[in-house]
Amino acid sequence: MGANWTRPDRLRCQWRAVVDRWPTLKADQTISANHSLALAA
């Protein structure tokens, strides 16, 4: 039973970390995409 209680908590923490990093990841993707376009052009 204890494992069942800790697992959702850990998932929630991981999810929050991903959500917190999401804007940064999105910005990195946009920057790298623009960089690739600039190199191609």
Predicted pLDDT at 6: 61
Q: In whole angstroms, give the CA distance from residue 36 to residue 2.
A: 49
Type of residue found at 10: R
- Give pLDDT tens digits along the chain (41 positions): 555 556 677 788 888 888 888 888 888 889 888 888 888 87
Q: In whole angstroms, give the CA distance from residue 32 to residue 11.
A: 29
Domain residue ranges of the chain, discontinuous segments joined by +: 8-40
Q: In whole angstroms, give the CA distance from residue 18 to residue 11.
A: 10
Q: How much is the pTM?
A: 0.42
